[in-house]
Structures are given as structure tokens and as C-alpha cells.
Structure 1
Amino acid sequence: MRVLVTGSTGMLGHVACAVLGERFEVFGTCRREFPSGLESFLSPGRCYVNCDGGNIERLRKAVEDCRPAAVVNCIGVVKQKPEAQDAVQTIRINSLLPHEIAVECDRVGAKLIQISTDCVFSGTRGGYTEDSVPDATDLYGRSKLLGEVTRTPHLTLRTSIIGPQLHGETGLLAWFVNNRTSPVQGYVNAVFSGLTTYTLARIIADIVEKAPGLTGLYHVASTPVSKYDLLRSIAAAAGWDVDILRFEDFYCDRSLDGRAFGKATGLVVPNWVEMIRELMEKGLTHDTSFQGQAHSHYGWNGIVGQGVDQEHPGKP
């Protein structure tokens, strides 16, 4: 079975190529030329290059040529990047592109799996279900909401992720690793229910293999955790002695209720202790990985996060 991962150089994309590649014939798209490091996850001969998210014609040709059973769309403008302030670009990539890819999927008989975010919610109360009314007021959250594709046979998964990147050192985990020798702020009232990229990629593979008829909108969530407790878990698993300061003067709870997804699929999301342990077993938080040395059988060489504030990654 063929699966096409669009945005295969991104934080979720390259991990998805590796994980799905264990079960399927995986192809990918790259924004520019084939980058160094990606060969550990995807064969250069299976990558459609120069497929920028703003060039729908290139992406259409990739889908038409590949003719996959499923397309996993990992292309997106994330709120940590400067281009997230560009409304035209953000709306084009986050809002319009998923629907354009879905149209091409219809033409070749493929299923689109669109990755959305908990940021469609403001975070004023948490425990959001699929029936909760999205109330984001920022450009990023609204643009991702507009990009959700829920018509049959397509599927949108709302979630939040942390994990490795091929290039760059931005996000919660990279911030924590780089600052762990000094006291760091742990946000006690900043709560989310995210997954590691490895866990989400495995769930996507399970959907493709075991639940191909799943369609609509679902929340994929772990047990809610505060950023304070998450940092403590990471430090404990890594054996780091870090002074994590309790910071209570900020509130944001974007935790999702994932029970509907579990009921529909029978899939169980592991808890954070298990997910962090799994990342540690792959060597993702060792100092050597930050120095650019591949430290696992996947060749992953860095650990960074997504779905957190750029100026202070400890915030959501």
C-alpha cells in the first residue's frame, strides 16, 4: 500500500516517513531540494522535490503520479515561525491547501489525513470534545480550523505534538535541553494533552492499516498534563537535576477529550511516562543528539517541540 507524506522534512513529516515506512510503501514531498539528513527516513527516489505548499500544481502532480491509498498532510505554517504573521501565506497554507489536496485525493481515490491542532480552542476551560465550539481568536488557530477536512472519506485529527526535527532547535524540548543547567519556569496552569511525534505517527499508521474507513473529525489526546509536570517527567527520564520553578501566573488549558477516537478505533494512547521513555530509548534527548550526531536506529538527531509559544516555549 502506498502512502504519501506531504511536508516530509517537518517535525511530524520526517518521523511519519520513518514510522509508516515500516509498514507501507512511503513517498514524500519536500519544499525544496532533497535535504541532508532526510535519507535516514525516506529514499531520495521516493521524494517529490520543490513541492512548496504555495504551489498546488506541484502537489497535485505528486498526488497524481504517486496515486497513494492515503495522503498524510504534514504541511503547515506553525505559530512559532515568523511567517505565521503573514495572513495571506498562513491562510493559503493552513486553510486552503488541505481542501485543495483533498480534491486531488478525490480524483485518485485516496484518503486525506489532515493534522489539525488544539489551538482551534482558546484554552479557557479544557476538556474539549469534538462537539465543543472552536473559539480561537488568533490567526493561527482560525486558519487551522478552516483547513479541517471532514467530509467522507477524509479525516482530520486534532492533537498537539512534541518531537524531533531534522533541522532547527525551537520549541519546548529544545528550550528545556538548552536551558536545563539554569533554573527554568514550569507553567503549572498551562495544560495540554499532546503526543510525541512517534506516537502520533504510529497511530496514523494504525488508522491506515486497521481503520481505513474512519472519517470525519476526531481528537487524539493523551492524559492532560501541565507543562510543569511534563518538564519534571522529561528531567526524571533523562536523569537530569534541573531546578524547575513553579510558575502559576498564567492559565491556558487546551486539553482535548479523546474518548470518541478511542471508542471508534480501539486504539489506546500511551501515557506521558511511556511516551517520554520511548523517546529516551531512541536517544533523542542525549547531548550527542543536539550536537548533530545521529543517536538511534532511525538516525533522529535532535529534539524540539511544536504547539508552544515561540518567545517562551514553556507556554502553550
Structure 2
Amino acid sequence: MNEQPTILVTGVNGQVGYELLRSLQGLGRVVGLDRAALDLADLNRVREIVRAAKPSIIVNPAAYTAVDKAETDEASAQRLNAEAPGVLAEEAKRCGAALIHYSTDYVFDGTKYTPYVETDAVNPQNVYGKTKLAGEQAIAASGCAHLILRTSWVYGRRGKNFLLTMLKLGAERPELRIVADQIGAPTWSRTIADATSHIVTQGLAANNAGWWAQRSGIYHFTASGSTSWHGFAEVIFASALGERAPKTVPIPAADYPVPAKRPANSRLMLDKLSETFGLYMPAWDDALRLCLSD
């Protein structure tokens, strides 16, 4: 009888972590840790937890995601987004585990006119993006087998995200002004979790540490297609509120100032993901309708 693998998942109360617990079930012994069980800010505790669990795979969706707050709380963002992933990677290397880590479109400056590929030059424009890039670099430097999955515009039915904000405001106001000159791919947290599970299934079926090492690197990992925040909101309202939907007014980002600068173009090319793992991410609006019907 084969010994079942241990899959260690961080941040299981978050949008992606919550879905991962459900998507990974049946693939092994899933050890899900919330912030109370594992505060990533405590780096010594991170080492202790990993060494005690002896995982085959570590999946790390936990992060500092308050993009605007990070501008005045850089130390916390650096600890959670850069230092903690680096320690997870060092411990993965020590115990022979593979590390799956999530990063962001915000590592790019958004000035490119076409979708970004994994090898494009990075140039983050805010603290969140800079700390997430530092996390990518720390993982790569560790030498562990790793997949860094860059996603974008994550939403779901839990936590704080654009979908839930729009549903709340749309029920309260007759008109909303929404940014229309930033383009990206809204990505459902369940899409992220399910696609991750498909990759984990392949890796476990291979039952070969070399499988992970051969595929180590960065992958773009979003829903397919793209829209603006305004376009995202319009589909939310049409699908969820129908005739009760508020009027939406498209505005430039300059009319909605926020502390952290966002990229105008957040589109990410998905070819490497499909070529390597045979995964074809769903259209963003199809996934959104599934989420709303859930």
C-alpha cells in the first residue's frame, strides 16, 4: 500500500486557500493551516511547521493582499510576501517537497500593449508588486522545485474583493462610477484552486521528484480573455441584479485616485501553462456566471 502524500496548504481562510482545501481533497493528506495555526510573519514557526509535517507538496496562497495599505505598511508586506515564501522554499528544498506559490500581475508596470509573457521584464509600480516580486526571486534562489503561478483580479464569494464590493454597492446605489482604462482577467478563486489541483494530480501521478524540477518556474495563471473593471462590473450586475442593476459610468483611473498605482494592462499570456500542463483556463465571464450561480 502506497503511503499517501502530505499536502500542506497555508492561508486556508483566504479566498484561494478556502477553495484549495476542497479541490485538493482525495489527493493525499491535506494539512490546512489558517493564520492562527501558522502566522507566516513568524518565520521560525514556519520552519517548525514544515519540518513537523514533512510534506510532499506545499501550496502557499497566503499573502499580504491589501494593496493600498501596503504603501504605508511595507515591512508587513515584505515579511509575508517575500521573506515567508523564501523560508517556505528553503524548507521545501530541505525536505524534498515541491512548492506551489501564487504571485501577481502587479509585478509588471502595465505599459505593454499586448499580453505579458513569463519572460517579459518586470517593473512593479507599487509596494505590493515589489514585495511579491521579491517573493518570486527568493523562491527561485532557494533551488527548490517550485511553480510560481501569477494570477490577477482574484474574486470569490468570501473575503474582500471586487465582486462582493460591487454586489453590495449595486444594491445600495442607483449609479456607480467605475474605472474603465485598466484591463485584466478577473479570476475566480475556485478556478485557481481547481486548476492547481489538476497540476498536483499530474505531479503525484508521475511520482517522480524530477517531474517538478523539470517544470519549475513561473507560469501565468488567470482566466482567459480580458475586460476592464467597468466591464467586469457590468457583467456582475447583468448576471446578479438584472433589471435592478445600477447605472455604471466608465471613468479613467485618474478620476479615482488610490494610494497604490495599478498597471493599465494586466493581461497575461497563458500559452506556457497549456503547453506544459494541458490546462485551458475558462473565459473570465463564464467562470463569473458559474460563481454567481453557486
Q: TM-score normalised to the size of structure 2?
A: 0.82
Alignment pair present for 1:143 and 2:143: no
SS in 2 for 1:174: helix
Contact 2:61–2:101 (8 Å) recurs in 1:
yes
Q: Which residue of 2 aligns with 1:178?
A: 168
Q: 1:57 aligns with which of 44, 50, 62?
A: 44
Q: Deviations over 1:139-175 (max 9, x none)?
A: 111110010123451111111111132xx5x331122
> Match of 1:229, as an amino acid?
G
Q: 1:13 aligns with which of 17, 20, 41?
A: 17
Contact 2:92–2:144 (8 Å) recurs in 1:
no
Task: Describe the shift of the 1:152–1:63 C-alpha distance in structure 2 as closer, same or farther (beyond 3 A).
Answer: closer
Q: Which residue of 2 aligns with 1:30?
A: 34
Q: Which residue of 1 aligns with 2:110?
A: 123
SS in 2 for 1:180: helix
> Match of 2:79, as an amino acid?
R
Alignment pair present for 1:164 and 2:157: yes
Percent of residue pairs bearing the same amino acid type:
27
> Match of 2:25, as an amino acid?
G
Contact 2:157–2:164 (8 Å) recurs in 1:
no
Q: Deviations over 1:236-282 (max 9, x none)?
A: 22243231212246581111111111111110100022201221232
SS in 2 for 1:54: coil
Which of the two has greater helix per residue? 2
SS in 2 for 1:147: helix
SS in 2 for 1:68: coil
Distance in 1 between the 2:176 and 2:290 partners?
24
Q: Which residue of 2 aligns with 1:258?
A: 270
Contact 2:237–2:246 (8 Å) recurs in 1:
yes
Alignment pair present for 1:202 and 2:231: no
Distance in 1 between the 2:32 and 2:162 partners?
26
Which runs of no fewer than 5 residues in structure 2 stay unpaired? 204-210, 255-262
Distance in 2 between the 1:226 and 1:25 partners?
40
Structure 1, 231-240 or 108-117: larger mean CA deviation: 231-240
Aligned length: 262
Distance in 2 between the 1:205 and 1:191 partners?
27
Which runs of no fewer than 5 residues in structure 1 stay unpaired? 33-48, 283-316
Distance in 1 between the 2:71 and 2:18 partners?
21
Task: Describe the shift of the 1:58–1:249 C-alpha distance in structure 2 as closer, same or farther (beyond 3 A).
Answer: closer
Structure 1, 100-109 or 19-28: larger mean CA deviation: 19-28
Distance in 1 between the 2:268 and 2:18 partners?
25
Distance in 1 between the 2:253 and 2:90 partners?
45
SS in 1 for 2:145: coil
Task: Describe the shift of the 1:229–1:81 C-alpha distance in structure 2 as closer, same or farther (beyond 3 A).
Answer: closer
Q: Which residue of 1 aligns with 2:206?
A: none
Distance in 2 between the 1:257 and 1:83 partners?
27
